[in-house]
Amino acid sequence: MSREHHEGLLFCWQVRQALAQALDPMAQMRIGSEFYHRHLLPHFGIEEEAVFPVLGAKDPLVERAIREHRRLTHLFLNTDDPIYALSRIGVELEAHIRFEERVLFQRVQEVASEAQLEWIDRLHGLMKDE
């Protein structure tokens, strides 16, 4: 998952650069929408289908991650105020990635079986091949 997280962090940096340079916010939202559909949505799907079940739906870390997925989806798809959406995407996506890397995935690795980790790795590999 780290490669996708790296791409997400790079996207956050690009959003901040676009805002600092006052580039066309609607054009940036279109770029963001493409990033969301091509990268983030499939990534969220793997996490929700294969990673989060390791801890269970009622786990507070999973509940937080799912709330953040929904919030980010709203920001990427809402074009009513593109400058606000972009600024929040830059902050919230980065915070979400850091939370997953430093907290959630560490916990998953502690409790997952070898078979679960292999399954997650296989799904992750399929996503890279697409």
The pLDDT score that the predictor gives to residue 129 is 52
Q: What is the DSSP string of 48-116?
A: IIIIGGGT-TT-HHHHHHHHHHHHHHHHHH--SSHHHHHHHHHHHHHHHHHHIIIIIHHHHHHH--HHH
The pair phi, psi for residue 79, each rounded to 5°, is: -105, 10
The pLDDT score that the predictor gives to residue 76 is 97
| Identity at 4, one-letter amino acid code | E
Q: In whole angstroms, give the CA distance from residue 102 to residue 4.
A: 15
The pLDDT score that the predictor gives to residue 126 is 64
Which residue positions in the chain have pLDDT lower than 50? none
The pLDDT score that the predictor gives to residue 55 is 97
The pLDDT score that the predictor gives to residue 130 is 53
Spell out the domain ranges in the chain. Answer: 2-129
- Give the pair of three-digit tokens for residue 32: 């963001």
The pLDDT score that the predictor gives to residue 1 is 55
